[in-house]
Amino acid sequence: MCGIVAYIGKRHALPILIEGLKRLEYRGYDSAGVAILDGKMEIAKSIGRVRKLEELVEKTGGFKGTIGIAHTRWATHGGVTDRNAHPHCDDKKLGHNIAIIHNGIIENYSSLKKYLEEKGHTFESETDTEVLAHLIGELYKGDLEKAVQAALREVTGAYAIAAICKSEPDVLVVARKGSPLMVGVGKDEYIVASDSSAIVAHTTQAFTLADYTVAKLTRDSFRTSTVDDVPVDAQVKELEFDLAEIELGDFQHFMLKEIYEQPGALRTCLKGRVDTRSGQIVLGGVLQHAKMLATARSVTFVGQGTALHACMIASYLMEELGKVNADWDYASEFRYRNPIVEEGTVVVAISQSGETADTLAALQEAKQRGAFCLEL
């Protein structure tokens, strides 16, 4: 799970990007990087926390441009090194004209990399993201939006990306499939981020990108379309988010803050869902599926990491209290082991972040096999 921040507007981008990375640091902290356009492409990367990146940029005197992208990484493809940190650029022979940041996994990156190598591309990192950057560069014909759309039509996997281009210094292109991405709408500026924590300090107006959606942002307008260049409407909404919720406050670190917030979090979770008269818990989102759940023949919980432990506990409780056959499975294994999904099978996918690639793939597999699916 990695963090994306991008900005286009009239203010200096660097302070906004660094502040956003700090708010998203919980999403990944093995390395961080930033790219800003200011006549040329200014890029800085650093292993470690965002503070190290900030110190590195300060030594250069700072980047002064008003458009840029930034990323905090939790490594998937490639080790924790400066060269594997984001942003990544297109081929050096093209002058590193395009830079991108990316969350997710490009599943067919190996075949794409081979294709690009045959076209003469050379790679500087071990990441799937650099392959995507080179592909966009290979397809670039003077229009960044169209190059991104064309590249994503060739991609298999999950992604949230932001791209900038030296040849188009007034354009920021972002896109999403599977990994969350939202766009904050300010006055003559846009702030893009993986979640609202990096946006709410600047604006409370935002829209969330849907899957397979691309947004082209300039300083005073935006356009949203599908990867096939079909225009789509974006619904700008008010963010219901309190900045104090994400501030560290008097706590030394966020884990300690979360521990002390657990009683309040549980009260908030139960608020409006406890019927004291009948002694029942009322779950509105589940209640509409009560008939299907009541007649379920079996329930399978899928997840990864800490979510998998929740799956284990849930399966035991389902059998003990619900008297329904229940089981749990690694989301990463579910789609590869030809699971038995019969009529009356319910699959519950549990993810802490809502963007775990293996869990999303398992959910898709379950739906294709005809299971009734719930996402938690």
- Assign 1 a pLDDT band (cuts: 50, 70, 90): low
Residues in the chain: 376
pLDDT at 267: 83
Residue 95: pLDDT over 80: no
pLDDT in tens, 128-153: 999 999 999 999 999 999 999 999 99
- What is the model's pTM? 0.77
Residue 146 pLDDT: 97
Supply the pLDDT for residue 244: 66
CA 45, 50, 51, 56: dihedral to nearest 10 degrees?
10
Cα dihedral 125, 126, 132, 136 sign: positive
Question: 3-class DSSP state for residue 150?
Answer: helix
Better pLDDT: 10 or 354: 10
Please, what is the average pLDDT of the chain?
88
What local confidence, expressed as pLDDT, does residue 342 receive?
A: 82
Residue 242 pLDDT: 66
**Highest mean pLDDT out of 193-202, 271-280, 308-317, 328-337:** 308-317
Question: Quick one: DSSP state of residue 76?
Answer: S
> Given pLDDT bands bounded at 50, 70 and 90, which one contains residue 321?
confident
Looking at residue 80, its pLDDT comes to 78
pLDDT tens readout for residues 34-77: 999 998 899 999 888 888 888 888 887 778 899 999 998 876 76
Per-residue pLDDT tens over the stretch 14-24:
999 999 988 88
The pLDDT of residue 274 is 81
At 280, the pLDDT band (50, 70, 90 cuts) reads: confident
What integer pLDDT is reported at residue 114 of this predicted model?
96
Tokens of 340: 């038995």
Collapse the DSSP code of 58 into the 3-class scheme (helix H, G, I; strand E, B; otherwise coil) and give the result.
helix
Domain locations in the chain?
A: 3-240, 272-375
* Per-residue model confidence (pLDDT) at position 55: 87
Average pLDDT over residues 204-215: 93
Q: What is the CA radius of gyration of the chain?
A: 22
> What is the pLDDT at residue 316?
95
Distance CA 25, CA 3 (A): 7
The values of phi and psi at residue 247, to 5°, are -80, 145
Share of the chain above pLDDT 70, in %: 94
* pLDDT (0 to 100) of residue 246: 67
- Range in 44-48, 79-83, 362-366 the model is least confident about: 79-83
Q: Which fold has domain 272-375?
A: Rossmann fold (3.40.50)
Confirm if 304 and 360 have CB atoms less than 8 A apart. no
Cα distance between residue 188 and residue 282, in whole Å: 44
Residue 355: the pLDDT is 66
- In this predicted structure, the answer to whether residue 268 has a pLDDT above a threshold of 80 is no
Mean pLDDT of 323-344: 87
The pLDDT-based confidence of 2 (bands split at 50, 70, 90) is confident
State which CATH number among 3.50.50.60, 3.40.50.720, 2.60.120.10, 3.60.20.10 fits the domain covering 3-240.
3.60.20.10
φ, ψ for residue 336, nearest 5 deg: -100, -10
Q: What is the reported pLDDT for 279?
A: 80
182 CB-contact burial (10 Å; exposed 0-12 / middle 13-18 / buried 19+): buried
User: Looking at the predicted structure, is the pLDDT value of residue 292 above 90?
Assistant: no
